[in-house]
């Protein structure tokens, strides 16, 4: 997730911008840049890599000017590179733009601008904005930005400066955060409060489609049509560390809460206005439909996304799927068919075993689709096709939003592949896409009820063992939920396919056991109810996760947590959320730091 800063006032803008960008480093980035307006006109400096590289670049010069914008980029469109870094400028180099978000119709706009003779320099979606502002600029930057807002679709926070109006920043947001900082003889803008706290604690949060026009002495606010608004400032009394976490106590909780937005970002850019899945961006065309088998490999949480994917691909696209843990796959003499489609899933794109599995697949002649969160990662660079999850940087070791966005990618690929193979009627595909579009709101509804999970965690966190059980898609989520609980709360937890209970695990069940039964597969409710009765009879405490309004398990369970109804194959995106929250609150109850679990690293780059 990119970071935006802007400054206008009496100080030299450059050190303020660099300092403010440093406060946004926690958001994750792969390049940084600034644009400053001064006596030399608009000066832009940017560099791939850490902020330190930008500082080295500007160390030998004096960039004069007290108005400027800055950016840390988390690559989405185009690899991390100097040229793809922000700010981006128009052809004449007098307008500069920094952007956080995704412009969904950038390809169309780019073609339109190229048709008018604009030569693009970068692969980014953002560069279209700089050229569009130039196109609409007639001496009033605010009016030009309003006109551009009418043409761009997607999510954005923008800050724009123009050499012809020095001492002015125009900023606007839609679905990406932006905060204005009100100072004395200076005003600032930033993606997040920590960047502002050294200069002011008086802030104004912009709402969607609200515009701020900043000069040294005032900030004016406008709506998306350019009509004046009045906004009330708020006083920030958090400390900087808390501010980086957006007011959440831990990154893990923040990332759990970011899921509705992350899911929307993942979904929205891949579905056309007519509700059809469009994966032309990743190049998934007819040639992929001839495969006889899909093979999925990954590690940890990403492997659990693969288990969901197996069930989803077989049900939706009617294609056989093998799913394997990457560290097993690479050493077990697997058999390859050149028509196989490999799907390799990895948040970081750098996991050693996962990369080794990908390289084996490619050297066998198979084609590889990568699902990853990190643009320019090794996996992204070496795979044949890449589908980015666009979850934004995941900082907590325990993966949450990366997992649910991986699932969103899986469903979109399954629906597209099904269409290419003629395995799904148009009406059924449209129904599934409609259901997918509802998941972000359903996820939000679950998060609104987190206090229920917090309460249950406070009553059950000291159980010595926890078993998660479910059938079909609920089994996959049991695997993921058990991993979440063990990695951050150190509770001994395991997952079982509920049908396996009688084949061994039930021997371990006693009154010190918590059993979480995930029950979202309606056709198997009666089977799950029997399994719950079996563990209850041996003294277990049972939490059931099922649907809103469903009373099937009320008589057998000790506690029921409800999630909004969704078709059985799509429920994993919802049913995992209460389990993520449960793991988080158990860790808190046990006095542990969920962001820094013992013995674990965020990215496992060695065997």
Two structure tokens written together for 548:
């809103």
Q: Of the candidates 155, 354, 493, 531, which one interacts with ligand AGP according to CB under 6 A?
A: 354
Query: 340 Cβ partners below 8 Å, 6+ apart?
Result: 291, 292, 293, 294, 295, 361, 366, 367
- Tokens for 44? 């832009």
Among 176, 264, 297, 301, binds ligand AGP (CB under 6 A): 301
404 near ligand AGP, judged by CB under 6 A? no
- Six-digit token string for 353: 């075993």
Q: What is the smallest separation between the CB atom of 356 and ligand AGP, expressed in angstroms? A: 12
Alpha carbon 48 to its chain centroid, in Å, reads 22
Contacts of 540 (CB under 8 A, 6+ apart): 467, 509, 510, 511, 513, 514, 515
- The single residue among 3, 181, 300, 393 that binds ligand AGP, judged by CB under 6 A, is 300
Residue nearest to ligand AGP (CB): 300
To the nearest whole angstrom, how small is the minimum distance from the Cβ of residue 387 to ligand AGP? 14
Widest CA span in the chain: 80
For ligand AGP, the binding residue among 81, 89, 200, 348 (CB under 6 A) is 348
Q: How far is CA 85 from the centre of its chain?
A: 20
Task: Show the site string, 305-344: x = touches ligand AGP by CB under 6 A, - = not.
Answer: ----------------------------------------
- Quote the crossing angle between the two packed helices 300-312 and 401-421, to the nearest 10°: 30
CB 85 within 8 A of CB 46: yes
Please, which residue, 215 or 603, has the CB nearer to ligand AGP?
603
CB nearer ligand AGP, residue 401 or residue 471: 401
Stretch that binds ligand AGP, among 69-77, 279-287, 348-356, 511-519 (CB under 6 A): 348-356
Residues in the chain: 607
Distance between CA 368 and CA 370 in Å, rounded? 6
Query: What is the DSSP code (8-state) at residue 314?
Result: I
Query: Using CB under 6 A, which of 32, 282, 302, 369 touches ligand AGP?
Result: 302
Asked if 27 and 215 count as a contact pair (C-beta separation under 8 A), the reply is no
* Two structure tokens written together for 522: 């309606």
Q: Among residues 125 and 394, whose Cβ is nearest to ligand AGP?
A: 394
Choose, by CB under 6 A, the member of 347, 404, 521, 556 that binds ligand AGP.
347
Q: Burial letters for 315-327: b for 16+ Cβ neighbours within 10 Å, e otherwise?
A: bbbebebbbbbbb
The C-alpha atoms of residue 210 and residue 403 are separated, in whole angstroms, by 32
Give 213 or 453: the residue with its C-beta nearer to ligand AGP. Answer: 453
The residue among 80 and 300 lying less far from ligand AGP, judged by its C-beta, is: 300
Q: Nearest CA to 479 among 495, 463, 465?
A: 495
Give, as ranges, the residues between 469 and 508 that touch ligand AGP (CB under 6 A): 487
Among the listed residues 348, 408, 402, the one whose alpha carbon sits nearest the alpha carbon of residue 379: 348
- Contact present, 100 and 159 (Cβ < 8 Å): no
Phi first, then psi, for residue 115 (nearest 5°) are -60, -25
The piece of 185-193, 213-221, 275-283, 391-399 that touches ligand AGP (CB under 6 A) is 391-399
Annotated catalytic, 299? no
Which of 4, 299, 321, 588 binds ligand AGP (CB under 6 A)? It is 299
- Residue 401 Cβ, how far from ligand AGP at the closest point, in Å? 11
Part of the chain binding ligand AGP (CB under 6 A), chosen from 184-192, 257-265, 394-402, 494-502: 394-402
**Contacts with ligand AGP in 112-171 (CB under 6 A)?**
none
**Judged by CB under 6 A, which stretch of 300-308, 380-388, 520-528, 577-585 contacts ligand AGP?**
300-308
Which range binds ligand AGP by CB under 6 A, 175-183, 345-353, 358-366, 459-467? 345-353
Phi, psi (degrees; rounded to nearest 5) at 75: -60, 135
Q: Would you tell me how many other CB atoms lie within 10 Å of the CB of residue 497? A: 17
Of 266, 346, 489, 513, the one binding ligand AGP by CB under 6 A: 346
For residue 536, indicate whether it is catalytic: no
One of 143, 276, 486, 602 is an active-site residue; which one? 602
Q: Is 50 in the site for ligand AGP (CB under 6 A)?
A: no
Report which of 368, 576, 606, 353 is spatially closest to residue 474, judged by C-alpha positions. 576
Per rule CB under 6 A, is residue 351 in the interface with ligand AGP?
Answer: yes
Stretch that binds ligand AGP, among 158-166, 446-454, 523-531, 597-605 (CB under 6 A): 597-605
Q: State the nearest-atom distance from the C-beta of 487 to ligand AGP, in Å.
A: 6
Q: Is 151 helix (H, G, I), strand (E, B) or coil?
A: coil
Minimum CB separation from ligand AGP for residue 326, in Å?
8
Using the rule CB under 6 A, is 589 a contact of ligand AGP?
Answer: no
Nearer to ligand AGP, 8 or 298 (CB): 298
**Dihedral pair phi/psi, residue 55, rounded to 5°:** -60, -40
Looking at 110-118, 299-307, 383-391, 573-581, which segment touches ligand AGP (CB under 6 A)? 299-307
Q: How far is the CB of 246 from ligand AGP (least distance, A)?
A: 20
Provide the minimum distance between the beta carbon of 80 and ligand AGP in the complex, in angstroms, as a whole number: 17
Interaction between residue 399 and ligand AGP (CB under 6 A):
yes
Main-chain dihedrals φ then ψ at residue 563, nearest 5 degrees: -120, 155
Whether residue 87 has a cis bond before it, omega within 30° of 0: yes
End-to-end Cα, the chain, rounded Å = 29
* Token pair 């005032």: residue: 218
Catalytic residue chosen out of the listed positions 2, 299, 519, 579: 2
Q: Which residues pair with 157 in a beta bridge?
A: 100, 173
> Of the ranges 105-113, 396-404, 570-578, 581-589, which one interacts with ligand AGP (CB under 6 A)?
396-404
Residue matched to tokens 């056989």: 320
Least Cβ distance, residue 93 to ligand AGP (angstroms): 39
| Distance separating alpha carbons of residues 563 and 581, to the nearest angstrom | 13
- Please tell me the distance from the alpha carbon of residue 347 to that of residue 406, in angstroms, as a whole number: 8
Contacting residues toward ligand AGP, per CB under 6 A: 299-302, 346-348, 351, 354, 397-399, 487, 600, 603-604
Catalytic annotation, residues: 2, 602
């Amino acid at each position: 997730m990119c970071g935006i800063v802007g400054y206008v006032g009496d100080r030299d803008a450059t050190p303020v911008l660099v300092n403010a960008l440093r406060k946004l480093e926690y958001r994750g980035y792969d390049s940084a840049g600034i644009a400053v307006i001064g006596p030399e006109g608009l000066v832009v400096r940017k560099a791939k890599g850490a902020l330190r590289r930008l500082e080295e670049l500007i160390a030998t010069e004096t960039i004069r000017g007290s108005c400027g914008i800055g950016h840390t980029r988390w690559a989405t469109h185009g690899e991390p590179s100097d040229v793809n870094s922000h700010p981006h400028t128009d052809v004449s180099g007098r307008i500069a733009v920094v952007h956080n978000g995704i412009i969904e119709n950038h390809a169309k706009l780019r073609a339109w601008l190229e048709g008018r003779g604009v030569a693009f320099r970068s692969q980014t979606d953002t560069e279209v904005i700089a050229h569009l502002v130039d196109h609409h600029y007639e001496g009033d930057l605010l009016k030009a930005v309003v006109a551009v807002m009418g043409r761009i679709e997607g999510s954005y926070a923008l800050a724009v400066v123009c050499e012809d109006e020095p001492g002015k920043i125009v900023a606007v947001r839609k679905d990406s955060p932006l905060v204005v900082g009100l100072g004395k003889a200076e005003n600032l803008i930033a993606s997040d409060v920590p960047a502002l706290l050294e200069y002011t604690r008086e802030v104004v949060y912009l709402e969607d489609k609200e515009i701020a026009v900043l000069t040294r002495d005032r900030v004016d606010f406008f709506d998306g049509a350019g009509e004046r608004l009045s906004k009330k400032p708020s006083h920030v009394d958090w400390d900087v560390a808390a501010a980086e976490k957006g007011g959440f106590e831990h990154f893990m909780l923040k990332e759990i809460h970011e899921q509705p937005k992350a899911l929307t970002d993942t979904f929205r850019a891949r579905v056309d206005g007519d509700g059809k899945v469009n994966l032309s961006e990743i190049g998934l065309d007819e040639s992929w439909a001839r495969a006889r088998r899909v093979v999925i490999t990954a590690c940890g949480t990403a492997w659990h996304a693969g288990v969901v994917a197996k069930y989803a691909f077989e049900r939706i696209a009617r294609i056989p799927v093998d799913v394997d843990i990457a560290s097993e796959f690479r050493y077990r003499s697997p058999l390859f068919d050149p028509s196989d489609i490999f799907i390799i899933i990895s948040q970081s794109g750098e996991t050693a075993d996962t990369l080794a599995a990908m390289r084996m697949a490619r050297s066998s002649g198979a084609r590889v689709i990568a699902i990853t969160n990190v643009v320019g990662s090794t996996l992204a660079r070496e795979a044949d096709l890449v589908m980015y999850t666009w979850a934004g940087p995941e900082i907590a070791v325990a993966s949450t939003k990366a997992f649910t966005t991986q699932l969103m990618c899986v469903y979109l690929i399954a629906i597209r592949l099904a269409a290419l193979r003629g395995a799904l009627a148009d009406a059924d595909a449209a129904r599934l896409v409609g259901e997918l579009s509802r998941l972000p709101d359903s996820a939000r509804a679950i998060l609104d009820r987190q206090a229920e999970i917090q309460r249950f965690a406070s009553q059950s966190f000291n159980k010595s063992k926890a078993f998660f059980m479910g059938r079909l898609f609920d089994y996959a989520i049991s695997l993921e939920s058990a991993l979440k609980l063990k990695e951050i709360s150190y509770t001994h937890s395991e997952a079982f396919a509920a049908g396996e209970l009688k084949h061994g695990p039930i021997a371990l069940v006693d009154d010190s056991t918590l059993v979480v039964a995930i029950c979202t597969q309606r056709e198997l409710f009666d089977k799950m109810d029997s399994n719950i009765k079996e563990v209850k009879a041996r003294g277990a405490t049972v939490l059931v996760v099922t649907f809103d309004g469903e009373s099937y398990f009320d008589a057998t369970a000790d506690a029921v947590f409800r999630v909004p109804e969704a078709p059985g194959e799509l429920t994993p995106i919802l049913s995992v959320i209460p389990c993520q929250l449960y793991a988080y609150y158990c860790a808190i109850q046990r006095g542990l730091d969920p962001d820094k679990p013992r013995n674990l690293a965020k990215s496992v780059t060695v065997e």
